[in-house]
Structure 1
Amino acid sequence: MIFSIVGKGISGVSVARFLKRRKQSFFFLDDSSKTLNEYNILHSREVILSPGISVEHKAIQAAIKYKMKIWNEIDISIKSIPACFNVGVTGSNGKSTTTSMLGFLFIKVFNHVFVGGNLGIPLSQCLEWGKKLKFIIMELSSFQLEIIKDLKLDIANLSNLSPNHLNRHKTVKEYYRTKRNIFKLLKDRGVGFDLSFPLLRKDIKKKYTNRLNLLGKHNMQNICLNILNSQLVEITEEAFQKSVKMFMGILHRLEVFGQRRGALWVNDSKSTSVFSQIAAITCFAGTVHFVLGGVGKGVDYTSLERLMISSVVFFYVIGTESLILLNLLKKRKLNVVCVGNLDNAIFCISKRIRVGDVVLFSPGCASFDQFINYEQRGFFFRRLYHAV
C-alpha cells in the first residue's frame, strides 16, 4: 500500500511518523513545492488529506474520480487506538478555550487523557499510549469535519455559529452544515450539545460570572459546555469548581501581557473572525488601541461598527486586508490608520498611548501573509511589547 500525504503541516508530518512506525510506504504532496497535481496523486493507492487542503482541489477531485480512498489524520489514527471515551468540540469561536478547559478538568480528575486535534497536537501522536489511554478530547475544525467519517464520539459539542472561512466554504449555509457534521459522528448512545441555541446558557451565567480567571462574558458558553460534559461523566461539583478557578486560559486568546507605559497590553492573536474581535473589544472600557488585519477569509466586516459602543477606539490596520478595512472604517468615520505591519503599528501606538489605555491585538484574520501561523504572530507581538 502506498499513501500520498497531502500537506506537510503538523498533521501531515505526524501521520508520516505514524506510517513509518508501521513500515508503510508514503510520499508527500504539497502546493508549496508544486508537487500536488493530478499526475502525482494517482501514483498512490490512498490519500491522507491535511485540513488545510480543500477537497475541491483539482488533484483531490481526480483522486475522488478514480474512487481512491481519502483519509484524514484523525480517521487513520483512530483505527489504531483502543476504545476510549471520545469527546469532540467545534464552533466558530471559543472552541479552543472550551477544549482546553475541558481537557484541564479531565486531567485533574482522571488519568490518561489526550487533549488535541485542531488545538495543535495531532491524534496520531498519542498512539504510543496504547491501552493506557482512557479519554480523548479533541477540537475539530470545519476543515476536518468535511471528511471525517470513522471517528465516533461519546459527546459532541457545538459552542456557537457565526460566519467564518467563507473563502473555503463559499456560503454561510455550507459552513454551518459542515460544522454540524460533528453530530453525525456520535455513537448510537452518544450525546450532543448545541449551544448555538441560547436556552442552555441561562441558568449558568449567574453562578459562574465572578469565578473565572478569563476575560469576557462570552466565556459563559465555554463554562456551559464544560458543566454539561462533566455531569455526563459524573465529575463532582466540587472538583469542577476547583478546576474552573485554576484554569488560566490559553496562549494568544485574550492573554494579558501586563503594563507598559501605563497601558494594559492584551494578545488575542488567535482571533481570526469579526465575532471574536467583538467579544474581545467588549471586555474593555476607555481608550483602546486596536491592531487588526491579516489575510481575509471572505467574511463581512460591517459588524465592526459595533465596536464604537463602549470604547474610544483607535484602529491600526495591517496585512493584505488593510485597504478593505481602512475604507470600511473610514466610511464609519472612525479613527483609523493603515500601518502595513505589526512593527509599524506598535511604533505608532507607543507614541500615542496614555496611562489607563488598552493595547489590543485582535487581528480577526488569518496570519499567512506575514507569519507562519497565529502562534508566531502572537509571540512576535509579545517581543514587541517587551521592546516598548
Structure 2
Amino acid sequence: MLAGSLMTVLISLTTAAAACMDGDSETCHTKYGTRFGHDLLPSFMLAEGYFNLNHGSFGATPRPVMEAQRRYQEQMEARPDQWFRDDYFMCVNEAREAIAKYVKAPSTDDIVLVENASGGVNAVLRSMVWKEGDVVLFLSSAYPMVKNTAAWLGESNPSVQVKEVQLGSDWPATGGQAVLKPLREALAENKGKTKLVIVSHITSVPAVILPVEDIVRMCRLSGVAGGDVQVLVDGAHALGQVPIDLVGLGDPDYYISNGHKWLFSPKGSEPNVISSSGKKDFVGRFSYTGSRDYTAFCAIKEAFKFRHHVGDEKIYEYTAGLARWAAKMLSRTWGTRVLVPLESQAFMINVQLPTNSTTVAMQLQERLKIDYDTYIVQHSLLWLP
C-alpha cells in the first residue's frame, strides 16, 4: 500500500535561497555577505534562470575548475609525449596527495583515482579472490549499482553467496542507527562465512548518513581466526558533503567516493584496466590506461583551491543549514514532515509531499522542470510509519 510520496530535496551550494543552520534569510546574508546564494552563481556554469536542486546526481563544476581542466588539455595537446610520459604522472600524484590529506588517509599510496564510484565498486568485487562458501552482505538501502554488481558476482561465481540484509520497520525514520541491529544479526547468522560487507556512508534514496565507524567496528569484532570481515564503504555522496576521516572511521578496507558531486571536481577520472605500463603495485595498476583524457582528475587540485577560497567549513555549514531551513519550511507549509532525523542528514533532505499519489508527485516534478526550469528528484516509498 502506498502510504506516502517523498520528494528528496537535494540543495547544494549552487542553489539561490538563503538561511543558516536555524536562522532566516537576513541572518544568513549578514553572516556570509556575498559569498553564497545568488552571489556565487556566476562562479558556476548553470544556465541563467535554471534552478539545480539535484546536485547529488551529476554535480555542477565551478568555472575556475573547468578553466583549469581546459589548460591541462591544452598542455596535453601542445606536447603529447611529455604529457603522457611525465606531466600527467606528476599532476595525478599531486591530486592523490590533496585527496589523502583531505580525507585523512593513512598514506597517499592508499589513494587511487577511478572514473566514479561504480568503477571503484567493480574494481573491488571483480578483483577479490573468492572461495567456496564466502558470503557477501549488503544492505537493502544500497544503491542499485551495488545491488546489480553484487548480483553479477553471485551469478558469475556460484561459490559466493550474495545476501541482501533487509532493514526493519524503523528504517529510515530513526536514522542511520536503524541499520545496526539487522546487520549485527546477519553477521551472527553468517559468522565464519562473511568475507565482505558493503555499506553506504550516505544512502541515496532516502538520504541518510550511516554510522560507518560503528559498522566497521562491528565487522572487525565479528571476524574469526583467519581474518576479519572486510568492509567496502560506498561513499559516493560523502566527499564534500560531510567531513571524512578514514582513520577515525576505523580505516575501512575499501572506501570509494565521487568528486564530481559535492567536491566540485570535474566529472570522470580513471577506469580500472590493465595497461601497457606493466606496473603491478596498487597505485601503479590504476595509474595509467593509455591515451585517454586524464585532465579531469588533474583539475581536482583546482576544486580544492576553489573550496579553500570559498571556505570549506563555511560550505558545510551554509549548505547543510540551507537544506535544513528548506526542509522545515516545506514540511510546515505542506503540513507533512521531514522523513529522517536531521542529525542523520547533511545536504540531502527528505520531505514528505502532501499527496499519496505517485502520479501527482511525478506531475509536480515535470511541472517544475517545464514551467519553472527547476529540477528536483522525486521518489516514492511504499511504506511510511
Whether the TM-score (by the shorter chain) exceeds 0.5 is no
Structure with the bigger RCO (C-alpha within 8 Å, sep 6+) is: 2
- Provide TM-score, normalisation by structure 2: 0.30
More strand by share: 1
